[in-house]
Amino acid sequence: MSDRSDTPHLYGTAPGSESKQGKAGHTLAPDQQAPTEQSYAHQIALTDGTMVTVEETSGIAFAESDRQVGSAAPPADDRPADGTAPATGTPPPTTRQVVLGAALGVGVGLLANLVRKAAVQAPTMLAGRWDKALAAEHRAALAIFDLIEQTDEKDAARRTVLLTQLKHAIGKHAFQEENSIYAMMRDLEMTEAADHLNHEHGYVKQYFFDLGEMPRDDPAWLPKLRAFRSMIETHMREEEDDLFPRMRERLTGDQNRHLTRLMHREGLKLA
């Protein structure tokens, strides 16, 4: 084993024979010094040819190496004669380049998300005024119900996928209504009707919870879904045939257009 004093220490200058790890740079009074501890040291050759000396003292180990760990500089023998660092190929990116690259990535991601949201909301926006747009979403939700009702107990995976689609469609639809339509309804002194519709949305969530908890191949799953559909169809007819027409007539043309914009704004949040 080579002399430790000839080998650079892993964390800088190797401690002398009179110092221990953690005591570098401190001089202790004789009555403060710890008793001499038995130590063991041996060298290990790493795969790159580096020789590392490991010393263990009372279960605490520290290492010494012929190069500084964590440094990107090559061993001294590999440096040019003038002492300068050799060329290392492509230089690392600057902080400015890293920041600009990250900002560009974030911007592209945000733009893609906006495009996706616009695509999801587009069918509703193309349907026209707020009441017509909501009626179009009603029909879209019922179409998903149709697909689910065509499944049987062997189609558990398909039921799960379609239930997720239905939950997203109705969840976005309800969010639009609660945050724009029902709020405007209360301002038009239709508070009782708005509260009634909002109350029924709570039971929509309950049906989704129950269907999600039940095994998809449970014989009771499809009857539960059909009960859900019956409830929500009654809710939709009440809106389309009675409450929405009454509400639309109380609003001016500008107010209806404004409400349409408000509804789409809320829909984009969950699209």
Residue type, 104: L
More confident residue, 169 or 21: 169
Q: What is the pLDDT of residues 96-105, one digit of tens each?
A: 777 777 777 7
DSSP E strand stretches across 51-196: 51-57, 60-65
pLDDT digits (tens, 9 = 90+) for 137-165: 999 999 999 999 999 999 999 999 999 99
Half-sphere exposure of 231 (CA within 13 A, CB side): 17
- Minimum mean pLDDT among 122-131, 199-208, 256-265: which range? 122-131
Q: What is the pLDDT of residue 108?
A: 72
Q: Of the segments 74-78, 97-101, 210-214, which one has the largest average pLDDT value?
A: 210-214
pLDDT of residue 8: 46
Can you tell me the mean pLDDT for 100-120? Answer: 70
Distance in angstroms (rounded) separating the CA atoms of residues 255 and 186: 15
- pLDDT the model gives residue 220: 98
Cα 138 off chain centre by = 30
pLDDT at 126 over 70: yes
Q: In Å, how far from its chain's centre is CA 154?
A: 33
Q: Which H helix or E strand runs over 41?
A: strand 39-45
| pLDDT value for 96 | 74
pLDDT digits (tens, 9 = 90+) for 40-70: 555 666 666 666 565 554 444 444 444 444 4
- Tell me the pLDDT tens digit for each residue of 244-257: 999 999 999 999 99
Where is pLDDT greater, at 87 or 94?
94
Question: Does residue 219 carry a pLDDT above 90?
Answer: yes
The rounded distance, in Å, linking the Cα atoms of 8 and 69 is 10
Q: Please determine, for residue 215, whether its predicted confidence score (pLDDT) is greater than 80.
A: yes
261: part of which helix (H) or strand (E)? helix 253-270
**Whole-angstrom distance between the N-terminal and C-terminal Cα of the chain?**
70
For residue 39, give both structure tokens: 């130590």
pLDDT at position 116: 64
- DSSP letters spanning 51-70: EEEEEEETTEEEEEESS-TT
> For residue range 159-185, what is the model confidence (pLDDT) as tens digits?
999 999 999 999 999 999 999 999 999
Instruction: Report pLDDT for 118.
Output: 66
Distance between CA atoms of residues 130 and 115, nearest Å? 22
pLDDT of 149 = 98
